[in-house]
Amino acid sequence: MSIRHTILGLLHYRDLHGYRIKEVIEQNFGHMWTINFGQIYPNLKKMLAEELITVREVVRLGEKGPPRKLYSITEAGKNEFTDWLAISPENGMLLRDPFLMRFVFFGFGDKNRAVEIIDDRIGEFQQQLKKREENLETWERNDIYVNLMAELGIKMNRLLLEWMEESRKRIIEAETVGAAV
Amino acid sequence: MSIRHTILGLLHYRDLHGYRIKEVIEQNFGHMWTINFGQIYPNLKKMLAEELITVREVVRLGEKGPPRKLYSITEAGKNEFTDWLAISPENGMLLRDPFLMRFVFFGFGDKNRAVEIIDDRIGEFQQQLKKREENLETWERNDIYVNLMAELGIKMNRLLLEWMEESRKRIIEAETVGAAV
DNA sequence: CCTCTCATGTAAGACGTTACATGATTCA
DNA sequence: TGAATCATGTAACGTCTTACATGAGAGG
C-alpha cells in the first residue's frame, strides 16, 4: 500500500507517465527500492478508477505504438496523501540483501570463495558510491527532505564499504589462526 | 527462495523446531528480517517432502496439543545449501522502511507533525541500539561471520540515529528561514 | 539489420502477511 | 479465572516479480 502513496507524492512535484515514474523512483530512492511495471500500471489503473489521479494528456508517439499518458493528482488524491503522511509509521525497517543472507553462513563454506564474493561486492559498492556522490553534486535540489535522503544513501553506502573492507581483513587474519564453527 | 536456505543454515548449528526457528531468526537477523509461521511451516513441510530435512524427534507436550517436531538437516540438504552459498548473490540490497518513505515527502505536510514523527523514531532507535549493544556483550559467539553481522546491525543503528538527529536540527533551522517546495 | 531505449499493458506464479483454529501449561 | 507463552498448522488475501505481447524510433 505504499507504491500508491509514493506515486501520489511524486505527482505533487509534476505530472508523470508510468514509465517515467519508474525512472524517478529508481533515481531518487534507488538505495531502497526496486519497482516493476507490473506494479506501476495496475496501480495507476486502480487509482484512476478511484479518482485519486487523472489523465491530463495523451501523447501519441507512433500510429500503433502505445500512447503516453500523463497523470496528475486530484484533490481527492492530495487528501488521501496528506492523511497518510500524518500517520505514525507502523512496522520497522526491513533490510533484505541476498549477499548479507549468505554472509552469515560463510563459516560453513569455502573461505576463498567467501573472500571472492566479498571482493565482487566491494567493487559494486565503490561504483555505486561514485555515482551517488556525483548525483548529489549536480542535482542541487531545493527540498531539504529529498536532500537529506540522498545524503543518507551515501552515508549507508560508505558504512557498508568500510564494514566489508574490515570484514575482509578479519576473515583473512582468522584463516591463519584456525577454522571457526 | 531464501527462507529455505536460512533454515538449512540454522540447522547446521543445531536441530530446531518451527517455533524456535522464528525466534532464532528474529534474535540474530532482527535488523533485516521479519518472519511468520505462515512461511515457516509450509516451507518445513515442503523441504521434508524433498528430503532436505528429517524429523529427529517428536515431543508431545500435552495429550491433545500440537507435538513439537525437531528437524535436522540431511546430506542432501547440506549439498543444496553449500551450492547456494557459493553462488554470487544476484540482485542488490533492498531497504524498505515506512518511515523513510514518508520522510521524503514531509515537505508536503505539516512541519511540526514531521518533527513529532522523527522524535518518535529517535526514541525507538535509541531503545533498539541499547538492546543490540547489550546483546553483543553477553552473547560472545565464536563465529566470526555472525559477529560481523551483529556489528553491522549496531553500526547501521548508530548511523541512522545520527542522521535523524542531524535531520531534526536542519528541519527546525529551515523553518525560521522560509518554507520549502 | 539488429539491438537498445521508450512506452503500455496483462497473466501467471512466487512470496509474504494476517487471521483463524486448536490446545497445554504457567503465572498473576 | 483469565491472560500470556508455547506450539503447530491452514486459508485467504495481498503484494511483488517475471515473462510475455505489441510497436515506434534511434544509432551502430
Q: Do B104 and A170 touch (CB under 8 A)?
A: no
pLDDT score recorded for residue B132: 82
Which strand D nucleotides have any atom less than 7 A from protein CB atoms? 6-12, 14-20, 22-25
Residues of chain A contacting B159 with CB distance shorter than 8 Å: 155-156, 159
Pure H helices in chain A? 3-13, 18-29, 37-49, 75-86, 98-103, 111-139, 144-177
Model confidence band, residue B179 (pLDDT cutoffs 50, 70, 90)? very low
Please write the tens of the pLDDT for every residue from B55-92.
998 887 666 667 889 999 999 999 999 999 998 777 67
Nearest-CA distance from A168 to chain B in Å? 10
Please write the tens of the pLDDT for every residue from A106-141.
999 999 999 999 999 999 889 888 888 887 776 656
Model confidence band, residue A150 (pLDDT cutoffs 50, 70, 90)? confident
Contacts 24+ apart (CB under 8 A), A164-170: A164/A118, A164/A121, A164/A122, A164/A125, A165/A122, A167/A118, A167/B148, A168/A115, A168/A118, A168/A119, A168/A122, A170/B144, A170/B148
Which is more confidently placed, A132 or B49? B49
% of chain B beyond a pLDDT of 70: 89
Residues of chain B contacting A149 with CB distance shorter than 8 Å: 100, 103-104
Residues of chain B contacting A168 with CB distance shorter than 8 Å: none
Nucleotide nearest to B16 (CA to C1'): D7
Q: Do B34 and A91 touch (CB under 8 A)?
A: yes
pLDDT score recorded for residue B141: 65
pTM of the model: 0.88
Q: Do B89 and A9 touch (CB under 8 A)?
A: no
Length B138 CA → C20 C1' (Å): 38
| Cα–Cα distance for residue pair A86/B108, rounded to 1 Å | 10
Model confidence band, residue A178 (pLDDT cutoffs 50, 70, 90)? very low
DSSP string, B102-149: HHTTGGGS-HHHHHHHHHHHHHHHHHHHHHHHHHHHHH----HHHHHH
Cell digits of residue A39: 506494479
Please write the tens of the pLDDT for every residue from A14-24.
999 999 999 99
Q: Do B109 and A91 touch (CB under 8 A)?
A: no
